[in-house]
Amino acid sequence: MAKKTTSKSSVKASPNKEAVKVNKSAGASAKKSAASTKTTNLKNDKPVSLSKIAKAKVKANKEKPLFQPRKIEKIIDVARLEKKMEDIVALHKNSKDFTIEEKLKAIYMLQEVDSNIDKIRTIRGELPMEVSDLEDELVGLTTRVDHIKAEIDNLNDLIAKKKQAVKESKDRIKKYESQQDKVKNNREFDSLNKEMEFQNLEIQLAEKRSKEHAVDIVAKTAMLEETEAVVAERNAILNLKKSELETIIDETRKEEDSLKRISEKTQTIVDERLLTAYRRLRDNTRNGLAVVSIQRDACGGCFNKIPPQRQLDIRQHKKVIVCEHCGRILVDSRIDEETVAVS
C-alpha cells in the first residue's frame, strides 16, 4: 500500500513542476513583450519629432515669397574688354589690314562676349516663353468667356421669346373662348375647341423649352464662373512672371548692351569669311563654343589630343587653325589669359 501512495504522490507532484515551468515561461514572455513595447514606444517617438520638423518646414515655405529674383553676378570685365577693342580698332583707324593674331584675339573675344550673352539669357531661363504661353492661354480663355456670355444672352433671349409666345397663346385662348359663345353650329364650336387645344399644346411646349433653357443657363453660368476663376488665377501668375522677368531684364540690360557694343566692334576686325565660319560653328555646337583654347595639350571643345607640331603652329599666330576632330577654331593659352573672365 505504501508503494502505491508514493507513486500517486509522485504523479501529483509532476504537474506542479510543469505549472511552475509554464509560469516561468509566461513571465519571461511578459518581460520580453514589455521590453518590445518600450522599444516600439521609443521608435514611435521619432516620427513625432520628425512630423514637427516637417510642419515647421511647411510653415517656413508658406511664409516664403512666391518667387525669388535670381541673383545676377558679374560674369566678365566689360569695361576692360571694351577698352581693349577700342585700342585695337584705333591702331588700324586708317587701314583695315589686321594681322592674323589680332583677328584671333578678336574672334576669341567675340566668343567670350557671345558666351556671356548666352549666360545672361540662361539666367532668364524659360520666363519669356512662359510669359508668351500664358498670354496666349489668356487670350483663349477670354475668348471662351465671351462665347459663354453670348450663349447665356442667347438663352435669355429664347426664354423671353417663349414667354411672349405663351402670353400670345393665352390671349388667343381667351379670344376663342369668347367666340364660342357666338357660334351658330357644332362645326364652328369643334374647330374653336381644336384651336384652343393646339394653343394649350403650344403653351406646354414653350414652358418645357423655357425650363430646358433655364437649366442650360445654370450650367453655363457655373462654367462661366469657373472659367473666370481660371482667368483670374492665370492673370495673377502672369503678373508675377512678368515682374520677375522685368527685374531680371533691368538687372542685366546694362551689361547686355555693353556686350553687344563690344560684339559689334569685334565684328569689324574679323573678316566676313571667318565670321561666317564662326557663326556656323556656334549654331552647330550644343554649348555654343566655336573658338576654344588649348588645355593640357588638348582641344578645349572635344578634349582630343593635339600634336606638338600643331600646337607650335597655333602659338605662332600665322594662320587660323581648326581642330581636326570637332572643327572648332583653336587659340593658344596666351590669348586665353589676356581675355580671362572675371570671377
- In the 3-class helix/strand/coil scheme, how is the chain assigned residue by residue? CHHHHHHHHHHHHHHHHHHHHHHHHHHHHHHHHHHHHHHHHHHHHHHHHHHHHHHHHHHHHHHCCCCCCCCCCCCCCHHHHHHHHHHHHHHCCCCCCCCHHHHHHHHHHHHHHHHHHHHHHHHHCCHHHHHHHHHHHHHHHHHHHHHHHHHHHHHHHHHHHHHHHHHHHHHHHHHHHHHHCCCCCHHHHHHHHHHHHHHHHHHHHHHHHHHHHHHHHHHHHHHHHHHHHHHHHHHHHHHHHHHHHHHHHHHHHHHHHHHHHHHHHHHHHCCHHHHHHHHHHHHHCCCCCCEEEEECCEECCCCCECCHHHHHHHHHCCCCEECCCCCCEEECHHHHHHCCCCC
Q: Is 343 or 87 the better-scoring residue by pLDDT?
A: 87
- Is pLDDT of 164 > 60? yes
- Provide mean pLDDT across the span 152-170: 92
Q: Is 270 exposed, middle or buried (0-12, 13-18, 19+ CB in 10 A)?
A: buried
* Nearest Cα residue to 126 out of 245, 240, 238: 245
Q: pLDDT value at position 243?
A: 85
* Nearest Cα residue to 294 out of 325, 324, 342, 336: 336
Asked if 298 and 307 count as a contact pair (C-beta separation under 8 A), the reply is no
Q: How many CB atoms lie within 10 A of CB 7?
A: 10
> What's CA 189's distance to the chain center, in Å?
76
Percent of the chain with pLDDT over 70: 69
Q: pLDDT value at position 278?
A: 86
Ranked by mean pLDDT, the top range of 20-34, 76-90, 285-299 is: 285-299
- Provide mean pLDDT across the span 192-206: 90
- Is pLDDT of 155 > 50? yes
pLDDT band at 14 (very low <50, low <70, confident <90, very high): very low
Average pLDDT for the chain:
75
pLDDT digits (tens, 9 = 90+) for 256-269: 787 888 888 777 77
Angle between helices 272-284 and 100-124 (to 10 degrees): 40
Q: pLDDT value at position 47?
A: 41
